[in-house]
Amino acid sequence: MSSNKSLKAIQSAFSNINHITYCSGAVSLTETTSKLYYTTINGSEGKIDFSKPTDDQLAALAGSCQKATFGVEKQDVLDETYRKAGKLDATQFAINFSPLTGGILDTIRDSLLGSQIEGNSIEVELYKLNVYGPGSFFKSHVDTPRNENMFGSLVVVLPTVHEGGSLIVRHAGNEQVFDTALAVRSDNIPKAAFVAFYSDVEHEVTLVTSGYRVTLTYNLYLTKTSSKPLKPLSMTADYIEKLKQSLAALLADPNVLPNGGLLGFSLAHRYPIDPKKTELSNLIECLKGSDADTLSICKSLSIDVSLKAIYYPPKGYRTGSCLVDQFVDFQDCLYEDDIVEYLAHAYNAKVIHHKYIKCTPIVWIKKPAKSNFFKTNYLAHGNEPALEFTYADVCLVANIDSAAKRNVK
């Protein structure tokens, strides 16, 4: 390709980048997050439950609002031909809803921040509550940045029955219309809709033709985390490097797990585990401190690592232990006596200790310390049915290839 052609190609590639400038979604409200408390016009306390707001309650909220202004060159201007809406400042209301609800902040981080988040964190500032009654609107504008760290705005539309009031966002010739009235419509669980966009995105609220549209607005800031970047969590970078090197050296030794096997790391922290509800695969996202560091050290060496439940049979039964990818509900355990045998068959458990079953070799880098020990009951089928307990712990387990596959001799 000539250099001219390759320049054209790269220019075209750059002009075709699909810039993401906003993200949106809906989240369910709960009994806790749906209640708003506010100061009424006469100074008393008002309350609305957004799981079932009545027209009278919404009219009272609208009646307690001041007229919303907007910024023109550092001045707050009231002009109802440009913006017609009511507002409450953040000091005049309280709501348990937060952008952490339903992972809104995670969506913003993933969609709008990407690599900038390294060493930074998102700060969210509740800014205003706005009520758009019939005849209200907000013409096209960009939000006034509060400081240089502000990267965007978040609008949350609370569930009320209304028509109109769509939010239109425009950027670089692209336009997207969010029918937020439709997004909050729900027959059962009340839903709030959200739209977050970069500060340079022009947006407007179309005319509300009936009902009350109630929104919370937030300013989004990117702030340098004062201490070290989020990772590593518990150790110095030098120490992490040392661990990495020693782990690599271990695996470079052909005598270590020559035919492949497992490396085990018991957890340093406790985690809230309900074996009936907790998904082991989700728990990996919540690892704290050195547990998270251990995970990232393994990953950086391309070691396949995951959390496993390690099950031990009850005392007095055959000894043994095995590793399972999930927490087990022993409802249909039909095996007599031997939990390990049952788990190997029914859950494809890796047996690591047993008198009769072939075991997968495991090298414990940190021995099981019962840091997340719990017990689960099951109905044992012995001579007489009896309620027994099996014991379990959680640990990080890495799959290690054979020495030949690791290319070490």
Ligand X SMILES: O=C(O)CCC(=O)C(=O)O
Task: Give the shortest CB-264-to-Fe ion separation in angstroms.
Answer: 53
CB of 99 to ligand X, least distance (A): 15
Q: At residue 13, what is the residue type?
A: A
Q: How far apart are CA 243 and CA 51, in angstroms?
A: 52
Helices 237-251 + 289-300 axis angle, to 10: 50
Q: Give the E-state strand segments of 32-69 in sequence order.
A: 35-39, 45-49, 66-67
For residues 249, 250, 253 and 256, what is the CA-based torsion angle, rounded to 10 degrees?
-170
292 binds, among Fe ion, ligand X, none (CB under 5 to 8 A by kind): none
Q: Which is nearer to ligand X, 101 or 120 (CB)?
A: 101
Q: Which sign does the torsion angle of CA 383, 389, 390, 391 carry?
A: negative
User: Within 10 Å of residue 20's Cβ, how many Cβ atoms?
Assistant: 12
Please select the residue that binds ligand X; options are 138, 218, 342, 378, rule is CB under 6 A: 138
User: Which residue in 29, 150, 169, 205 binds ligand X (CB under 6 A)?
Assistant: 205
User: Binding partner of residue 34 among ligand X, Fe ion, none, CB under 5 to 8 Å per kind?
Assistant: none
Among ligand X, Fe ion, none, the one that 205 touches (CB under a kind-dependent 5 to 8 A) is: ligand X
Question: Binding marks (x or -) toward ligand X, 300..339, rule CB under 6 A?
Answer: ----------------------------------------
Q: Which helix (H) or strand (E) holds 132?
A: strand 120-132
Q: Exactly one of 46, 143, 265, 397 binds ligand X (CB under 6 A); which one?
A: 143
Residue 215 binds which one of Fe ion, ligand X, none, with CB within 5 to 8 A depending on kind?
ligand X
Least Cβ distance, residue 35 to ligand X (angstroms): 21
Rounded distance between C-alpha atoms, residue 294 and residue 299, angstroms: 9
Residues of this chain, 138-157, that bind Fe ion according to CB under 5 A: 143
Site residues for ligand X, 215-234, by CB under 6 A, read 215, 217
The CB-of-203 to ligand X minimum distance in angstroms stands at 5
Write down the least CB distance from residue 51 to ligand X, Å: 21
CB nearer to ligand X: give 158 or 251. Answer: 158
Which are the contacts of 333, defined by CB distance < 8 A and separation ≥ 6?
A: 339, 342, 346, 378, 379
Query: Which spans of this chain sit near ligand X (rule: CB under 6 A)?
Result: 130, 138, 143, 155, 167, 203, 205, 215, 217
